Structure 1
Amino acid sequence: MRILLIGAQGKLGQKLINELINYNNLTITKFAGNASDFEQLKAQAIGHDVLVSTVSARSIEELVKIANNMIKIAAENNQRIVWSGGAGSLWTWDRTRLVDIPIDQFPTNLESWKPAIYGHYEVLKLLQNSSITWSYMSPALEFEDIEPLGWYQTKISDDALYNEINIIFASYASGAKALAAEITKPQYLNQRFTIYEICH
C-alpha cells in the first residue's frame, strides 16, 4: 500500500508516521508543497493508493480547497481518502454543536478555533456528497498533544463520546493509532467515526 500524507510536518502527522512505520508493506510519502495547488497535489498523488490529510486548519477556505483537490484527484485515480477532521460538528450531551454557532457570533477569544470547527465541517459535507471512498475521523472535543489517559476506542457516531469520568478526551498519540488502523484496515468506509480515551 502506498500512502501520500498531506500534513506530515504537523504534530499529528509526525505521530502518524511513527505509527505507520510499524506496519509491513507500506510506502509512506510526505507531501511537499502547497496542497491547495491542484497541479502540485495531483503530481505527487500519482501511484498512491490512499491520500491522507492531517493538515492544520489555517483557514476555512484553504481546508475546503485542499479537500476539493483531494476529492477530484481521488475520483480520477480511484484512490481512497482518510481525513483527520474536527470535533465541532459532534453533538454534546445538551444536544448542541459548536458548528451551529453563527460564525459572526463566535467568541472572539476563540477566533483561532474557527477554521477547525467550520472548515472541517465543510470538508465532511464534501466527502459525504462525493462518489469516492473515504473515512473521516472526528477527534474528541479535547484533543491534545499530551500523554494518553488510557486505551482509546473508536465508534461511528455523530455524538461526542464521554468516558467513564465524563470527559471527552483523546491524545494525539491515540489519534495517530486510530488513523493508522483505518488507513491499513479500514472499518469506517464512507463514514465519520470518532475517538475517545478510557482511563486505565
Structure 2
Amino acid sequence: MKIGVVAANGRVGRKVVTDAIQAGDEVTAIVRHENQTNAQKVLMKDLFDLTLDDVKKFDVIVDAFGVWEPAQLVKHQTSLAHLTKILAGTNIRLIVVGGAGSLYVDPEKKTQLMDTPDFPDEFKPLASSMAKAFQELKKVDDVRWTYISPAADFQADGPLKGHYQIAGDEFTTDENGVSAISYADYAQALVDEIHNDQYEQQRISVRW
C-alpha cells in the first residue's frame, strides 16, 4: 500500500512512518524541511501547497499536522479543509490524527471533554480549534476519511504495550478510570486501521 504521511517529521508522524514500513507499506514522508524519518520516499512541500497531482499516487494520506502557538491554531481547520478539498471525489483515504478534547462525556453527545471542569485551561484553545476542524470534517461526504482521537493522557514517551482499545465518539476509561495511550500504541492503532479499513467517515478513539 502506498501511504503519504503529512508532517512526517513530527513525533506522531515519525512513529506512523516506522510502523507502516514494518507493515510492508511504501511510505512517503511529506515534509516542509529535510526528512527526519526512515520513509522510502520524500515529498518536500508545504501542506497548503499540496495538489491532487502530488497525492494521486497514494492509497492513503495520513494527516499528522499539528500546531500549538495560539496565533497558528486556526491552521488545524484550514489545513484539514485544504486536504479534504484536494481529495474530494477520489478513492484516496484520509486518516486524521485528531484530538481528545472533542470526545463526548455523555450518551446524548451534548458535553465534550474540553467543557468539563477538570479539563486544563491551557489546552482549551487547542482543543477548541481541533474540535471546530472535526465538526467541519463531519460534513464532508465525498472523502473516505477516518478521524482517530487519542486518550486524554497522550504520552509522547509512553511505552509500547502492544495493545489498545477502540471506542467511538464517547470518552472512555479503563477499569481504574484512566484514559491514556502512548504515541507508540496510537501509531500502531492508526496503521492497523489503514489496513483493516473499518471506520470510514467515522471518528474512533484509542486508549489502553
Partner of 1:14: 14
Q: Which runs of 5+ in 1 are unaligned?
A: none
Question: Deviation at 1:15?
Answer: 1.0
Asked if residue 153 in structure 1 is aligned to residue 165 in structure 2, the reply is yes
Distance 1:165 1:93, change over 3 A: farther
Question: Deviation at 1:114?
Answer: 2.0
Task: List aligned pairs for 1:151-190, cutoff 5 A.
Answer: 151-155=163-167, 157-190=168-201
Query: Aligned-residue CA RMSD in angstroms?
Result: 2.3
Bigger mean CA deviation after superposition, 51-60 or 142-151? 142-151
**Are the counterparts in 2 of residues 99 and 121 from structure 1 also a CA contact under 8 Å?**
no
Partner of 2:205: 194
**Are the counterparts in 1 of residues 173 and 179 from structure 2 also a CA contact under 8 Å?**
yes
Task: List aligned pairs for 1:88-103, cutoff 5 A.
Answer: 88-92=101-105, 96-100=111-115
How much identity, in percent, do the aligned residues show?
Answer: 26
SS at match of 1:193: strand
Distance 2:54 2:73 in 1: 23
Question: Deviation at 1:16?
Answer: 0.9
Kindly provide the CA deviation profile for residues 85-111 of structure 1, in whole angstroms up to 9, marking residues without a partner as x. 00001133798424447xxxx83xx1x
Asked if residue 120 in structure 1 is aligned to residue 119 in structure 2, the reply is no
**Are the counterparts in 1 of residues 146 and 202 from structure 2 also a CA contact under 8 Å?**
yes
Distance 1:81 1:62, change over 3 A: same
Normalised TM-score (structure 2): 0.80
Task: List aligned pairs for 1:37-116, cutoff 5 A.
Answer: 37=48, 39-58=49-68, 59-92=72-105, 96-100=111-115, 107=121, 110=122, 114-115=125-126
SS at match of 1:30: strand
Partner of 1:143: 154
Count of matched residue positions in the alignment of Structure 1 and Structure 2: 185
Question: Deviation at 1:181?
Answer: 0.6
Distance 1:164 1:148, change over 3 A: farther
SS at match of 1:89: coil
**Are the counterparts in 1 of residues 95 and 146 from structure 2 also a CA contact under 8 Å?**
yes
Partner of 2:36: none
SS at match of 2:172: coil
SS at match of 1:44: helix
Select 1:134's aligned residue among 130, 133, 145.
145
Q: Which runs of 5+ in 2 are unaligned?
A: 33-45
Distance 1:29 1:161, change over 3 A: same
Q: Which amino acid aligns with 2:205?
A: T
Question: Deviation at 1:126?
Answer: 2.0
Normalised TM-score (structure 1): 0.83
Bigger relative contact order (CA 8 A; separation at least 6): 1
SS at match of 2:186: helix
